[in-house]
Amino acid sequence: MIQGESFLTLTDNEDPSKSTNTDLVFAWHTLGGVLVPHTFQKVIENEKLRVSWTIQISKKADINGEILDFMEFRKRWDDLEWCKANEWHPISIIRAFRDNSRDGKRWARQQATGALKRKGNSMCICYPDSPEWLKKEFARFI
C-alpha cells in the first residue's frame, strides 16, 4: 500500500450471489471505481460464512464528467428517491437494472414448469395448473 491511500472493507454474511455488497462493489467498479487486487474474501468463521470486499476509496470515479468518491456514490446508490429523481444518471440506470433483474429472476423462479410436446409444426404446452380439458388434450397429443 502507498501512503495516503484509503481503503474500505465491506463485510456481510450473505452468499456473494445474493449480497447487496457485491452489487454495490461491481456497480462502483463498472462506473470507474478502483477495486484492490485480491480484494475478495469468502471464509467460514465460527461456522458462519463471512464475505468481504475491499475497495480503494482514495481514488475517485469519473461518472459522466462528474468526479465522485465512493461515499457519495454509495449515498446516491442507496437513495431510491435520488435515483428516481435522476433516472438517466448512470448510477440510477445500473441500480434500476439490478433491481429489475432481481425481481425478474425471483418471479421466473416462482413460475411453474410446463411440459412441451411437438408434432411437426405444432406444439402443445401443459402446466400443472392447466385446466383438465387441456391436460387431456396434452395426453392425446402425439
DSSP 121: T
**Residuewise pLDDT in 10s, the chain (142 residues):** 566 788 889 999 998 888 999 999 999 999 998 887 778 888 998 889 999 998 888 889 999 899 999 999 999 999 999 999 999 999 999 999 999 998 998 899 898 899 999 988 888 899 999 999 988 888 888 6
Give me the pLDDT at residue 142, please: 65
The backbone torsions φ and ψ at residue 108, rounded to the nearest 5 degrees and listed phi first, read -65, -40
How many CA atoms lie within 13 Å of 132's alpha carbon, on the beta-carbon side? 0
Using DSSP's 3-state secondary structure scheme, residue 87 falls into: coil
Q: In this structure, are residues 96 and 83 in contact, taking their beta carbons and an 8 Å threshold?
A: yes
The C-alpha cell at 55 is 475497495
